[in-house]
Structure 1
Amino acid sequence: MILHTNITGEGEPLVLIHSGGMTGLTEYQEQADYFSVQNYKVIRPDLRGHGKSVGEIDHYFSRCIEDINDTLEFLNVEVCHIAGVSIGGVVALLFAKKYPHKVKSLSFSGIFPVKPDNWTELTREEAEGYEQLFNDEEAVGYLNEIHGESDWKTLLRSFNDDDFYPFDELGDVSSLKIPTLCIVGDKEELEISAVTTYKMLNPTFNISVIPFAGHLVHREQPDLYSKTLEILLMKHRG
């Protein structure tokens, strides 16, 4: 499936993949502004079930990987840099694993290679947070506006299904040879532990801890995130 996509700038393709519940237009705006004037073609797709990309949500990540591939082929992009956060980070890493010849560099934040001991508690708290969100008229109005015809409530609920998160695939990175940067906010102890585990699983991975930031590090510290990501991109341009 070809995803609805926002594109700014011209130059080397840089794919930025949003977090769950957001869209290509509502996320990574600061990074799109930053990189589009530095000879990058910034590509921000709406993942299926988000924004204007309506599609079935079963087998979610395997479908998303093929969606990204279909979209890049439609755009005549043969190779790109790719970065993602949270759900978008999962998609970025899984895409890089399946299509390594299409990825110059990979960056992700907010994902886990192994299941945290308190994962059941975390998912229960997240599910409760979603239900509170669904009762917030202002938030619901905004999400209805940005997601259009997509059934975003069903999508968000599916994120808490027992078999949704692909830990086995995310932890299988020892043979990945793509230049990779794991970015994490210093407020997230579990995520710091996660990137440390990634470094042990694949010593070639690079790690950056951004101060004064949490799960959505690119949003909470956009300048630091952009300049950190730029180091990776500059090392692997051309």
Structure 2
Amino acid sequence: MILHTTICGEGLPLLLLHSGGMTGETEYDEQSVYFSQRNYKVIRPDLRGHGQSGRLSGDYFDYCAEDIIETLDYLEIKSCHVAGVSLGGLTALIFANQFPERVRSLTFTGIFPEKKQNREDQLKEEEENLTSLSNDPETVSYLNTIHVNNDWRALFKSWTAPNWYPFHETSNVASLACPTLCIAGDGLSDEIEAAITFRKLNSSIQLAIIPFANHLVHREQPSLYTETLNLFLQEVDNSQKRQSR
């Protein structure tokens, strides 16, 4: 499926994948402005089941990487930098695992490599939080506005299924071939632990811990997140230039 996509800037393609419940147009605003002014072509799709992309599926992650490929092929983009947070981070990692030749670099935030023993408690808490959001009139109005082609309530419900999270994919980082950066906020110990575990699974993964931030680092500390991502991308691009000489 070709995803509804927002594009700005010209230069090396940079694919930014939004968190769950958001869209390409509602996320990564600061980063989009920054990188589009620095010789990057910033690509922000609505992931499956979000915004104007449509077609929420039961086996969600089986199709996400294929959606990205079809979208990049449609845009005639052979390879790109990829960065994603939360749901977007999961999609980014799965895409890099399945189509490594299309990925110049990978950056992910807010995802986990292993299932915790308290997973059931986490799902229950997640369900309570989503129910609260679904009963808030202001939130409901906003979600109805941005998800014009989708049932966001069905989307929320899908996240609470026992086997929804693709741990079989997130634990599979040992063979990642592309330069990879894991960013975490210092406010959540479980996400710091997850970042360290990723590093243990693949010693070439670079880590960045952003102060005064939690799950959505790119929103809570947009300048620090952007500068960290830019530093990483510049290093990758310069290294690849040297190798091509």
TM-score by length of 2: 0.96
Q: State the 1:173 CA deviation.
A: 1.0
CA distance in 2 between partners of 1:175 and 1:220 (Å): 31
C-alpha deviations, 1:70-96, integer Å up to 9, x for none? Answer: 000000000000000001000000000
What residue is the counterpart of 2:65 in the other structure? Answer: 65
What residue is the counterpart of 1:9 in the other structure? Answer: 9
Range with bigger deviation, 228-237 or 177-186: 228-237
C-alpha deviations, 1:131-163, integer Å up to 9, x for none? Answer: 111111111000000001200110111011011
Q: State the 1:176 CA deviation.
A: 1.0
Amino acid at match of 2:11: G
Q: Residues 2 and 67 of structure 2 are in contact (CA less than 8 Å); yes or no, is this contact kept in structure 1?
A: yes
1:1-238 aligned at under 5 Å gives the runs: 1-237=1-237
Q: State the 1:235 CA deviation.
A: 1.4
Q: State the 1:192 CA deviation.
A: 0.4
Q: State the 1:122 CA deviation.
A: 1.2
CA distance in 2 between partners of 1:33 and 1:118 (Å): 39
Q: Residues 14 and 82 of structure 2 are in contact (CA less than 8 Å); yes or no, is this contact kept in structure 1?
A: yes
Range with bigger deviation, 77-86 or 55-64: 55-64
The alignment yields a C-alpha RMSD, in angstroms, of 0.8
> Residue 187 of structure 2: SS of its match in structure 1?
coil
> Residue 43 of structure 2: SS of its match in structure 1?
strand
Range with bigger deviation, 163-172 or 215-224: 163-172
The percentage of counterpart residues that share the same residue type is: 53
> Residue 150 of structure 1: SS of its match in structure 2?
coil
CA distance in 2 between partners of 1:56 and 1:155 (Å): 7
Q: Residues 104 and 178 of structure 2 are in contact (CA less than 8 Å); yes or no, is this contact kept in structure 1?
A: yes
Amino acid at match of 1:92: A
Q: For structure 2, which runs of at least 5 residues remain unmatched after alignment?
A: none
Q: State the 1:56 CA deviation.
A: 3.1
> Residue 121 of structure 2: SS of its match in structure 1?
helix
C-alpha deviations, 1:82-124, integer Å up to 9, x for none? Answer: 0000010000000000000000000000000001222211111
TM-score by length of 1: 0.98
CA distance in 1 between partners of 2:55 and 2:216 (Å): 25
- What is the total number of aligned residue pairs between the two structures? 238
> Residue 73 of structure 1: SS of its match in structure 2?
helix
CA distance in 1 between partners of 2:215 and 2:121 (Å): 17
Amino acid at match of 2:72: L
Amino acid at match of 1:32: S
> Residue 193 of structure 1: SS of its match in structure 2?
helix
Q: Residues 57 and 155 of structure 1 are in contact (CA less than 8 Å); yes or no, is this contact kept in structure 2?
A: no
Q: Residues 106 and 178 of structure 1 are in contact (CA less than 8 Å); yes or no, is this contact kept in structure 2?
A: yes
CA distance in 1 between partners of 2:49 and 2:56 (Å): 7
CA distance in 2 between partners of 1:224 and 1:213 (Å): 10
> Residue 168 of structure 1: SS of its match in structure 2?
helix
CA distance in 1 between partners of 2:142 and 2:177 (Å): 40
